[in-house]
């Protein structure tokens, strides 16, 4: 009896649907991607059971790291330029157009006193990462932090019709006095709503 | 890989036909690139926004007289000490009243949460949270989180006083 020859299949298969899907995903990710802003400082946030998400935009982030340094960050590109000139004018520091352009990238998170900001902005991206920033002064003698916050709030109100959210991103090992100082400073300026950034933790059931 | 090119020309027939090209093209490099981009964007995307805990601080009072005192029977004070220690006492610390009994608790599920749930039977309960200067921010977030978990709405973040610190010291806990 002759052997039944197995039907010889072509080893190739139609990849068109897969490619379609792959490109669909590529476009999706390309369009929705928002690159994580460069963080000037590593902050290890504590976890909580809260499930509220940080708003997408109009957020002022105040980071407090474990060395008591305070960092300021703003996410709205539209008002960064104005913010820089406004706060700069207050302290008599002026910025060139090139520096103002660099500020767009830096403003996501920085912790440098305004006097040293032009020097930081002159550096290029790689060098800037190596600079150890000392934190924004926020004591009663030289309180630049609140100037940044107040200026950003008023600009946001002009531009978007509502004040920014204030998010406090504290390191788990940050000390309470620094965080409380930041909160108190803002309370004095009538900012009473804060968002404490935390990691998500599964919610335990509150059993009796 | 995509398609093996089949010879279009059979060779038979005298007429020279125009060479029929296969309509299939090799898509492998394109697919490679597509998947490379796909992985790149998938990995660089910030997946989820971080979660936040909302906290509303009281508006700064215009004058001190507007503030109403808390009844000692409704107060539960939590003291966040150094080295992740947590103390609590019922009532208030007043100069003329006898000193309340300070108890040691912890941040885990069987610690302060039980105490809070026991005290919750009092509907007028106000929890006073007093973080010591040596406590860390994680302790503060943990305790605010406990407030959320136990669904206690009335709590206040208060500065620790000298007498509270003394109470911790003398208790020896």
User: Which of B2, B43, B46, B52 to mutate to probe the A interface, most A CBs <10 Å?
Assistant: B52
**How confident is the model at residue B9, as a pLDDT?**
46
Q: Are B87 and B102 in contact (CB under 8 A)?
A: yes
Q: Which of A34, A46, A190 is facing B138, going by the closest CB pair?
A: A46
Whole-model pTM over 0.90: no
Closest Cα in chain B to A50? B53
Q: Which of B8, B26, B32, B28 is nearest to B18 (CA)?
A: B8
Q: What is the interface pTM, i.e. ipTM, of the complex? A: 0.71
Q: Each residue of A100-133: pLDDT tens digit?
A: 888 887 877 888 888 888 888 888 777 777 778 8
Sign of CA dihedral A110, A112, A114, A118: negative
Instruction: List the single residue in B44, B53, B137 with the smallest CB-CB distance to A171.
Output: B137
Helices in chain B by DSSP H: which ranges? 28-44, 112-119, 137-149, 162-171
The domains of chain B are located at: 71-171
User: What rounded mean pLDDT belongs to chain A?
Assistant: 80
Yes or no: say if A102 and A81 are a contact pair by the CB < 8 Å rule.
no
pLDDT at A182 over 50: yes
Sign of the torsion formed by the C-alpha atoms of B107, B111, B112 and B116: positive
Asked if B53 lies within 8 A of A204 by C-beta distance, the reply is no
Please answer yes or no on whether B133 and A177 come within 8 Å at the CB atom.
Answer: yes
Structure token digits, residue B16 = 């020279």
* A19, pLDDT greater than 60: yes
Each domain of chain A, given as residue ranges in start order, spans 75-200
Q: Which CATH architecture has domain B71-171?
A: 2-Layer Sandwich (3.30)
Q: State which residues of chain B have pLDDT below 50.
A: 7-13
pLDDT given for residue A36 in this prediction: 62
């Amino acid at each position: 009896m002759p052997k039944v020859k197995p039907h010889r299949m072509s080893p190739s298969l139609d990849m068109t649907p897969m490619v379609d899907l792959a490109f669909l995903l590529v476009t999706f990710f390309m369009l929705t991607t928002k690159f994580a802003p460069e963080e000037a400082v590593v902050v290890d946030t504590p976890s909580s059971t809260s499930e509220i998400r940080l708003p997408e935009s109009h957020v002022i982030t105040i980071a407090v790291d474990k060395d008591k340094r305070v960092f300021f960050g703003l996410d709205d590109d539209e008002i960064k330029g104005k913010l820089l000139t406004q706060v700069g004018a207050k302290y008599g520091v002026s910025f060139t157009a090139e520096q103002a352009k660099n500020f767009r990238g830096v403003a996501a998170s920085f912790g440098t006193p305004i006097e040293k900001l032009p020097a930081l902005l002159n550096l290029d991206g790689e060098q800037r990462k190596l600079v150890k920033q000392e934190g924004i002064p926020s004591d009663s003698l030289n309180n630049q932090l609140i100037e940044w916050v107040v200026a950003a709030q008023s600009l946001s109100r002009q531009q978007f019709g509502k004040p920014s959210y204030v998010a406090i991103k504290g390191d788990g090992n940050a000390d309470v006095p620094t965080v409380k100082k930041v909160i108190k400073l803002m309370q004095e300026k009538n900012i009473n709503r804060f968002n404490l950034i935390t990691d998500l933790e599964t919610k335990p059931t509150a059993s009796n | 890989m995509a398609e093996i090119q089949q010879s279009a020309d059979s060779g038979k027939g005298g007429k020279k036909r125009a060479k029929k090209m296969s309509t299939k093209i090799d898509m492998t490099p394109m697919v490679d690139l597509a998947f490379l981009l796909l992985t790149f964007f998938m990995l660089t995307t910030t997946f989820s926004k971080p979660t936040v805990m909302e906290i509303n601080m009281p508006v700064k009072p215009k004058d001190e007289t507007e503030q109403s005192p808390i009844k000692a029977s409704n107060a539960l004070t939590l003291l966040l000490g150094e080295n992740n220690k947590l103390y609590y006492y019922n009532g208030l610390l007043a100069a003329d009243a006898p000193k309340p009994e300070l108890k040691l608790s912890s941040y885990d599920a069987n610690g302060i949460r039980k105490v809070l749930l026991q005290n919750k039977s009092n509907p007028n309960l106000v929890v006073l949270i007093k973080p010591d200067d040596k406590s860390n921010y994680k302790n503060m977030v943990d305790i605010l989180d406990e407030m959320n978990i136990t669904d206690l709405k009335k709590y206040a973040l208060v500065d620790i006083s000298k007498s509270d610190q003394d109470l911790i010291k003398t208790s020896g806990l």
